[in-house]
């Protein structure tokens, strides 16, 4: 067999593949390709701006990915869209803000940390804020599960979805009462100066901060799920609750721990969101939650790496839409992505898997 024939065969197989695919998937691939080409054209016209926008997108995406992981962890294990998760993220940003301002429920524990404080104080403050917010959100998430979801473990899915919406309303209202209806400013603790030399490509210290917090969290989560006994139990419960219970896994505790993990990530994400954007507001959880949910769906809900990839992609799509389409169309672009992904590839880019592996594909 000559090389020419081999090439012919390969191209023949490719043609066959194209022929056998549905017109919808062909159209979808064509549209995505055109969009990528258009973006690359922009990238060639102004590489500096394009790269900066890409980096901002990745940073935003990291924040979204942390929330998306909470959705996907919970969905993977109890098949519930945890509507309250976005609002838990908002509570996380409020807790962080309260810690930084030193006024935990009017106790005035220490003087507020502001942009003028010393570097050591700033670092300590941010770390304490992160830890407190993570703990608070983890606890809230576990509490919500105990009160509102656990009693409904055997009810129709819709009943649990409604209680999730109810909890979302409750948290949002708590936020409204706590910090009021207006946007609340975050102290400007992390420099917005460019971390890279020169000013063609902008990658601020703020972005460095987000990446520096996100990467260890992701590595930690990955280690927890892959290597610890509890992580293995989570995977087992995600695959088959009854079988997991039969081999002696405490299913209820495992579900609680899943909610705890989701809450911890949401708390960290909330504090970072506040520090990164300089503001937070009581209903920020709704939009960010929906973006994160879109990210989870885009990556393949129930799939942990999918949530991270989806989060980063949504971040980049959002920042590109901000730059090249217009900020006010960004939300529509992201929701259009959500709809298109679900219509053309409901299992997401990396496939629909429960928690980390196996199972679940039959329920699509």
Instruction: List interacting residues with another protein (CB under 8 A).
Output: 24, 78-81, 147-148, 151-163, 165-170, 172-174, 176-177, 241-242, 251, 286, 290, 293-294, 297, 328-329, 331-332, 335-336, 338-339, 342-343, 346, 362-364
The three-state secondary structure class of 313 is helix
DSSP designation for 325:
T
Closer CB to another protein, 187 or 318, in the complex: 318
* Three-class secondary structure of residue 185 per DSSP: strand
> Can you tell me the distance from the alpha carbon of 70 to that of 292, in angstroms, rounded to the nearest whole number?
9
Q: What is the largest CA-CA distance in the chain?
A: 82
Q: Between 125 and 310, whose beta carbon lies closer to another protein?
A: 310
Identify the bridge partners of residue 194 per DSSP, sorted by sequence position. Answer: 204
- Please identify, using beta-carbon distances, which residue of 139 and 331 lies nearer to another protein: 331
Work out how close the CB of 301 gets to another protein at its nearest, in angstroms, rounded to a whole number: 8
DSSP 228: S
Q: How far is the CB of 248 from another protein (least distance, A)?
A: 16
User: Phi and psi dihedrals of 279, rounded to 5?
Assistant: -140, 165
121/290 with CB nearer another protein: 290
Q: How far is CA 132 from CA 12, 26, 52, 140, in A?
A: 60, 49, 32, 12
- Give the CA distances from residue 277 to residues 58, 80, 131, 146, 186, in Å, rounded to whole numbers and listed in that order: 14, 30, 19, 33, 8
Shortest Cβ 337–another protein spacing (Å):
9
Provide the residue count of the chain: 364
Cβ proximity to another protein, 203 vs 286, nearer residue? 286
What is the closest distance, in whole angstroms, from the C-beta atom of residue 298 to another protein in the complex?
Answer: 11
Among residues 219 and 339, whose Cβ is nearest to another protein? 339
Shortest Cβ 328–another protein spacing (Å): 5
118 by Cβ neighbours in 10 Å (0-12 / 13-18 / 19+) ranks as: exposed
| Distance, CA of 64 to CA of 84 (rounded, Å) | 15
- Please identify, using beta-carbon distances, which residue of 224 and 286 lies nearer to another protein: 286
**Minimum CB–partner distance for residue 188 and another protein (Å):** 30
78 or 136: whose CB is closer to another protein? 78
Q: How far is the CB of 218 from another protein (least distance, A)?
A: 25
The helix (run of H) or strand (run of E) holding residue 280 is strand 279-280
State the minimum distance, in angstroms, from the CB of residue 242 to another protein. 7
3-state DSSP assignment of residue 272:
helix
């Amino acid at each position: 067999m000559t090389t020419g024939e081999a090439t012919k065969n390969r191209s023949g197989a490719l043609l066959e593949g194209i022929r056998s695919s549905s017109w919808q998937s062909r159209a979808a691939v064509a549209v995505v390709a055109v969009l990528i080409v258009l973006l690359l054209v922009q990238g060639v016209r102004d590489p500096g701006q394009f790269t900066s926008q890409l980096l901002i997108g990745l940073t935003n995406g990291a924040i979204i990915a942390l929330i998306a992981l909470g959705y996907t962890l919970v969905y993977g294990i109890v098949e519930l869209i945890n509507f309250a998760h976005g609002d838990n993220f908002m509570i996380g940003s409020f807790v962080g803000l309260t810690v930084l301002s030193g006024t935990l429920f009017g106790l005035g524990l220490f003087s507020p940390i502001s942009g003028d404080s010393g570097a050591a104080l700033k670092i300590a403050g941010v770390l304490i804020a992160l830890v407190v917010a993570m703990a608070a959100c983890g606890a809230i998430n576990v509490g919500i599960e105990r009160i509102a979801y656990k009693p409904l473990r055997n009810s129709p899915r819709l009943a649990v979805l409604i209680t999730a919406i109810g909890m979302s309303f409750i948290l949002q209202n708590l936020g409204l009462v706590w910090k009021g209806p207006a946007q609340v400013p975050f102290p400007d603790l992390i420099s917005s100066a460019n971390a890279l030399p020169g000013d063609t490509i902008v990658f601020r210290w703020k972005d460095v901060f987000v990446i520096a917090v996100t990467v260890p969290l992701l590595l930690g989560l990955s280690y927890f799920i892959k290597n610890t006994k509890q992580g293995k139990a989570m995977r087992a419960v995600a695959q088959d609750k009854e079988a997991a219970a039969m081999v002696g896994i405490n299913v209820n505790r495992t579900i609680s721990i899943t909610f705890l993990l989701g809450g911890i990530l949401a708390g960290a994400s909330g504090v970072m969101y506040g520090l990164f954007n300089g503001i937070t507001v009581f209903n920020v959880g709704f939009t960010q939650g929906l973006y994160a949910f879109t990210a989870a769906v885009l990556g393949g809900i129930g799939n942990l790496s999918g949530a991270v990839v989806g989060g980063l992609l949504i971040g980049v799509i959002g920042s590109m839409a901000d730059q090249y389409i217009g900020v006010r169309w960004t939300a529509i672009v992201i929701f259009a992505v959500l709809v298109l992904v679900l219509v053309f590839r409901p299992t997401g880019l990396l496939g629909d898997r429960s928690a980390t592996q196996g199972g679940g594909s039959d329920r699509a």
